Amino acid sequence: MTANLMAILPYLVLAGGALLVMLVDSFVKSMRKDHLSNLSLLVLLGSLVAQQFTQQYSSDLFAGLLATSKFTFYMNTLFVAIALLTVNYASSLYSRSSSFSSEFYPLILLATLGMCLMAAATDMLVLFIAIEMMSMAVYLMVAGNRKSIKSVEAGFKYLILGAFASAILLMGMALLYGQTGSTLYSSFAAVSSSGGLMTSLAVGLLLIGFGFKIAMVPFHMWTPDVYDGAPSHITGFMATGVKAAAMAAMIRIVWVLIPQVSVVWAPLIGVLAVLTMTIGNLVALAQSNIKRMLAWSSIAHAGYLLLGLMTLLKPTSDSAVLSVVADNAGGALLFYLLAYAVMNLGAFGIISYLAKNRGEEADNIERYAGLSRTRPLVAASLAIFMFSLAGIPPTIGFAGKFYIFEGVVKAGMIPLAIWGVVNSLLSAYYYLRIIIVMYMKDPEESSYKGSSWETAFATSVLAIISVLLGVIPAPIRDVAVAAFKSLGQSG
Amino acid sequence: MVVDRRDFSVNFLIALLITNKELASRKYARLRVIYIWFDAGEAAFMAEQFVPLLLVISLALIFALLFLGLSYWLGPKKASKLKKTVYECGIPVRGGIEIRFFIRFFLVALLFLLFDLEAVFIYPWAVMYQSMLDGGRMIFALSEMGVFVGILVVGLVYVWKKGALEWQ
């Protein structure tokens, strides 16, 4: 029991921290919410530290409900880092604008806890509770800007569609349970290897449920509205954290259920990845609102991620060779999640930095004119993020895409890789347009001007990281590959 | 295509559904085409044990529609002013139907629902309590429930301090 509790100490810190922040919020009355943001930062850091001290991995926590491994370590670090940055953006935004409420801080801690549990869950029920824990918190955070009709509408829309997707996911889980009589992942691997249509239906429903969370095309329609309506820092959190968490859960399920899943998922995901990339990029071309553009771009990036997932689903006939390919492809996928988090959080951080004091969003691309002269450092950072999202070397986005496409080619799906590269070229147009507006146009009266040094500092650090990891991606990539390999060992 | 037991039962079901009198070989070929289409929904047709369920549902539907339709068709319809008024438990109607509710009612209802629902989780624990005592795990059982109730108390304190319980 004690060993179990020690192993989940990082999660306990997050849960306890959320309760603590709630209590402090209700007892300490203050207009500025600095104490809450500082406390939340402490809790998140505490969770990181706890994770460092409890590196005793086990695949059998609480009778097999949870598994900790290098994989969870990697994902948890990513989630907590995303939350740290979001809290950083929020604290400067909330001190400027009174239209946000202090509920944000406990909510983001709970959402992070949900994400961490999603990566660690090895039981369908735990997974479902983790997904709901994350989703409920995110629904509320999306509607966080109470005075903005757009924000409230986005939250409502996300809640309704999210509940629908959860129901479909639950149906898939129920069908799997109906076949095996157990909700443990390990039991699925043993019993349902015979396949059959019931299993196919079940994993198909699971794919729909996850597809909604990662904004896969045909389940992407909510994305632009919700990403546009939510406050920018929340959008960044959703685009990176929620997507990474759903992807982590998908990777785990794929890894356990490969023989059953690959029959249904492999052809489906191949088609859906191509559709997701293409539709995302094509629609993004036509956007004049930077948040909508990044929403469509996040759909396109979900397509690249699905391409990475596709390489894992290749039927393993020749195990020795293919397991190496799978390890590399899985590592590429995990690396891409990190890369996408760095560049996308950076971009949304800057949008949040430029937001007006009245809670108005800086979303009109035309009004980025002349940012290079009024705020040179911020403009340079945003330019780096745009280069990175477009996948231009030497940035982390290039390295991420390179590894993904490398895996796809090695798995022998060369047309898919070519289509991915063509899509990257396509996307360069709309990413570079922002750079042109910032650098080639003169500043105007209506151009955005930011004011918070914390956010500017954080985004500069992210920009440096994206260049640095673009030049030397190998160490982190090795970590990612090791993290993926650990799935096979203990979970 | 592999022919198995399931194949026949599904075809039988389709035959039942389209009330075909005979399965002539020419028609049977067409049914095979339909069957391939139905193949995707095999999970629903997987076992014969679902057929009674299907029958019950369709019977219920048929009877409900039949009697609703009959009463609509046969029943006399004489509208009067009194009949057209809003039904208010049989007493004479007073005032309009668009009454405004104080928003606090919703908050209280929501809070009630929250705490009421969470109290339900105590029941399974109470059921297991005796067996946990017998197993010598009293401290575990109590601390487990202590954590749960503790979280609830934090929620209550939060609601209280935020002023959600004040009626003003």
pLDDT in tens, A172-191: 999 888 888 888 888 876 65
Q: Is the pLDDT of residue B53 over 60?
A: yes
Closest Cα to residue A235, out of A149, A164, A303, A296?
Answer: A296
Q: Output the pLDDT for position B40.
A: 45
Instruction: Please check whether residue B136 lies inside any domain of the structure.
Output: yes
Q: How far apart are CA A146 and CA B137, in angstroms?
A: 48
Q: Is the pLDDT of residue B32 over 70?
A: no
Instruction: Please check whether residue B68 lies inside any domain of the structure.
Output: yes
Q: Is the pLDDT of residue A474 over 80?
A: yes
- Domain of residue A97: give its range: 2-490
Q: Is the pLDDT of residue B26 over 70?
A: no
| Chain A residues with beta carbon closer than 8 angstroms to that of B160 | 26
Q: Output the pLDDT for position A242.
A: 95
Q: How far apart are CA A439 and CA A436, in angstroms?
A: 5
Instruction: Please check whether residue B123 lies inside any domain of the structure.
Output: yes
Dihedral (Cα; B86, B88, B92, B95), 10-degree rounding: -70
Task: Determine whether the interchain pair A23/B151 forms a contact, defined as Cβ–Cβ distance below 8 Å.
Answer: no
Q: Is pLDDT larger for residue A55 or for residue A300?
A: A300
Task: Determine whether the interchain pair A27/B161 forms a contact, defined as Cβ–Cβ distance below 8 Å.
Answer: yes
**Sequence-separated contacts (24+) of B120-124 with Cβ below 8 Å:** B121/B148, B122/B148
**What tens digit of pLDDT does each residue of A229-262 get?**
999 999 999 999 999 999 999 998 887 776 666 7
Instruction: Please check whether residue B85 lies inside any domain of the structure.
Output: no
| Chain A residues with beta carbon closer than 8 angstroms to that of B35 | none
For chain A, the average pLDDT equals 88
Q: Output the pLDDT for position B22.
A: 45
Q: Do B62 and B13 share a structural domain?
A: yes
Q: Using 50, 70 and 90 to split pLDDT, how confident is the model at B19? A: very low
Task: Determine whether the interchain pair A198/B157 forms a contact, defined as Cβ–Cβ distance below 8 Å.
Answer: no
Beta pairing partners, A452: none
Q: What is the mean pLDDT of residues A145-173?
A: 92
B78 touches chain A (CB under 8 A): no
For chain B, the average pLDDT equals 76
Cα A24 to chain centroid distance, Å, stands at 29
Tell me which of A12, A14, A24, A26 to substitute to probe the interface with B (most B C-beta atoms closer than 10 Å): A26
Q: Using 50, 70 and 90 to split pLDDT, how confident is the model at A343? A: very high
Q: Is the pLDDT of residue A145 over 60?
A: yes
Check: complex ipTM more than 0.85: no
Instruction: Please check whether residue B114 lies inside any domain of the structure.
Output: yes
Q: Is the pLDDT of residue B27 over 60?
A: no
Coil, strand or helix at B138? helix
Task: Determine whether the interchain pair B43/A19 forms a contact, defined as Cβ–Cβ distance below 8 Å.
Answer: no
- Helical packing angle, A474-490 and A70-96, nearest 10°: 120
**What tens digit of pLDDT does each residue of A214-225 get?**
999 999 999 999
Closest Cα to residue A363, out of A350, A345, A375?
Answer: A350
Domain count, chain B: 2
> How much of chain A, in percent, has pLDDT values that exceed 90?
59
**What tens digit of pLDDT does each residue of A390-440 get?**
999 889 999 999 999 998 888 888 999 999 999 999 999 999 999 999 999
B77 touches chain A (CB under 8 A): no
Q: Give how far Cα A117 sits from Cα of A88, A129, A199, A231, B162, Å.
A: 23, 9, 25, 25, 29
Interface of B with A in 16-55 (CB under 8 A): 39-40, 42-43, 46
Coil, strand or helix at A369? coil
Q: Output the pLDDT for position A380.
A: 94
Q: Output the pLDDT for position B23.
A: 45
Q: Output the pLDDT for position B3.
A: 43
Instruction: Please check whether residue B82 lies inside any domain of the structure.
Output: no
Q: Is the pLDDT of residue A387 over 70?
A: yes
- Domain of residue B64: give its range: 5-73
Domain count, chain A: 1
Q: Is the pLDDT of residue B21 over 60?
A: no
- To the nearest whole Å, the CA of B139 is away from the closest chain A CA by 13
Instruction: Please check whether residue B95 lies inside any domain of the structure.
Output: no
Report the predicted TM-score, pTM, of the whole model to 2 decimal places: 0.84
Q: Is the pLDDT of residue A110 over 90?
A: yes
**What tens digit of pLDDT does each residue of B87-105 get?**
777 777 777 767 787 888 8
| Chain B residues with beta carbon closer than 8 angstroms to that of A199 | none
The chain B residue lying nearest A22, using CA atoms, is: B158
Instruction: Please check whether residue B93 lies inside any domain of the structure.
Output: no
Q: Output the pLDDT for position B2.
A: 44
Degrees to nearest 5, angle at CA A430 with A427 and A434: 140
Task: Determine whether the interchain pair B154/A201 forms a contact, defined as Cβ–Cβ distance below 8 Å.
Answer: no
Kindly state the DSSP code that residue A238 receives in the 8-state scheme. Answer: I
